[in-house]
Amino acid sequence: MTDWTAQTAQAKQWFESLRDQICAEFEAIEREAGSDASFEYTPWQREEVGNPDPGGGVQGLMKGKVFEKVGVNVSTVKGSFAPEFAATMNGASAENPGFTATGISLVAHMANPHVPAVHMNTRFLTTQSAWFGGGADLNPPIPYEEDTSDFHARFRAACMAHNPTYYERFKKWADEYFYIPHRGVHRGVGGIFYDHLECEDDAGFARHLAFTQDVGKTFLDIFPQLVRRRMGSGFTSDDKQTQLAWRGRYAEFNLVYDRGTLFGLKTGGNIDAILMSLPPEAVWS
């Protein structure tokens, strides 16, 4: 089994840097809106019986005037999957259940229903294999074609710079993944989703890290533009009810279908950090 310790540390360093850049930009938006809201950071340590170094992470949370609730979490964990869960993970098995994982996860729920909510996640995992995964998707309660088009255009450009097949493949994957079967609807207007970008050697790691970094940079470029475009829009009580009902659908997806939620719960992650994706308020009619 290849020792990916140095590569995991390099990926971790990037995810923490991206976290710092995103949080600074979101706080700047709050200042523009006349708010002094800032992120509060809560470190946490994972526990695993018989594991002296199980890792942990830092949960970043802000509740402001523009960002009603936004979480930006970074974690780096190491241990062994439970046997039944190991059988479902790429490169793991009951005989070889060991893993490491480092990544960043972000979900933003906005105060103004005209501002789209958003999700972004990128990660590096190792078992008997090593790979990158992640993506970003836009989740507007009240969609605007201009916002959808601009979001997809930026991610299309980022993908094309690395592989001409990436955008269509990863957009299709997002459309299929971010779908609520029991409702028969998509969670939002899509984006990109990718997984199992295998790193067979140092060159593969460098190549896929570069793409994953561009996913993060693209998010940092386009999403604040959309927030600033819509955050001053007026809205009605009906608009707010539309947002709250949509948030109910969002919560259903994350609790029933989301792989990241399941991974966190199955690997002894921090419950508050795992469930930070849930909206601060929602309704079911």
DSSP for residue 226: H
Closest to 18 in 3D by CA, of 222, 217, 218? 217
**pLDDT tens column, 131-145:** 999 999 999 999 999
- Is 10 inside any structural domain? yes
- Is 284 inside any structural domain? no
- Is 283 inside any structural domain? no
Which position has the higher pLDDT, 178 or 274?
178
**Average predicted confidence (pLDDT) for the chain:** 95
Catalytic residue (choose from 119, 152, 186, 208)? 119
Alpha helix (H) ranges present in 132-236? 145-160, 166-177, 202-230
- Is 125 inside any structural domain? yes
- Is 282 inside any structural domain? no
- Is 210 inside any structural domain? yes
For residue 212, the enclosing domain spans 5-277
Which position has the higher pLDDT, 264 or 116?
116
The CATH number of whichever domain residue 83 belongs to comes to 3.40.1500.10
Q: What six digits make up the tokens of 209? A: 């890290």
For the residues 21-41, what does the mean pLDDT come to?
98
pLDDT of residue 95 exceeding 80, the answer is: no
Residue 86 confidence (pLDDT): 66
pTM, 2 dp: 0.94
- The distance of Cα 235 from the centroid of its chain, to the nearest Å, equals 28
Q: What six digits make up the tokens of 98? A: 């060991």
Q: Which amino acid is at 157?
A: A
Does 119 qualify as catalytic in the annotation? Answer: yes
Q: What six digits make up the tokens of 109? A: 């729920």
- Number of domains forming the structure of the chain: 1
Residue 178 confidence (pLDDT): 96
